[in-house]
Amino acid sequence: MNEKRKILIVDDNRALVVAAERVLEKEGFDVLTALNGPEGLEKARADKPDLIILDILMPGMNGYEVCRRLQANPDTCGIPVIFLTVKGVVDEKRGASYEGLREINEAFDCGASDFLNKPIKARELIDVINKTLSLHHLLSSK
């Protein structure tokens, strides 16, 4: 595991993509970016990242459809996907709304490894990425 792990960020929010790219590169990751679903699918097929961070709300093709297509393709179906989105927000005082739970369930139904809400602290994102990569490595080496 000495080589740099490759992370693909797919999100139409350019500012978020740039900020996440900087944070992840400081942590030693090789970062690829895409600003829409079709571009994300193409980069996933071409570059075979170790993990994909995916937004749900994007023009043209939403994150659920991107995730379904990744899972349906033998070349990309083994790549763990972490949704990072404003959808599925859980209010600490009132809990999750029906709509929020539906969004979270849909993410896992289409193949997500994890589901995170924006905004997120850099350390939390890095911890979830490392946990997901470690788990994926353990499961794929069996």
- Which CATH number do you get for residue 127? 3.40.50.2300
* Structural domain contains residue 37: yes
* First vs last C-alpha separation in the chain: 16
* Structural domain contains residue 13: yes
Q: Where are the beta strands (DSSP E) in 1-142?
A: 6-10, 30-34, 51-54, 81-85, 90-91, 95-96, 114-117
**Of 130, 118, 115, 137, the residue nearest 24 (C-alpha):** 130
Q: Would you state the structure tokens that stand for residue 128, as one six-digit string?
A: 């979830």
* Structural domain contains residue 118: yes
pTM reported for the whole predicted model: 0.90
* Structural domain contains residue 101: yes
Please give the tally of structural domains in the chain: 1
* Structural domain contains residue 87: yes
Structural domain of 123: 6-140
* Structural domain contains residue 117: yes
Q: How many residues would you count in the chain? A: 142
> What does the pLDDT profile of the chain (142 residues) look like in tens digits?
447 899 999 999 999 999 999 999 999 999 999 999 999 999 999 999 999 999 999 988 999 999 999 999 999 999 999 999 886 555 555 555 667 788 889 999 999 999 998 889 999 999 999 999 999 888 877 6
* Structural domain contains residue 1: no
Q: What is the 3-state secondary structure (H, E, C) of 19-53?
A: HHHHHHHHCCCEEEEECCHHHHHHHHHHHCCCEEE
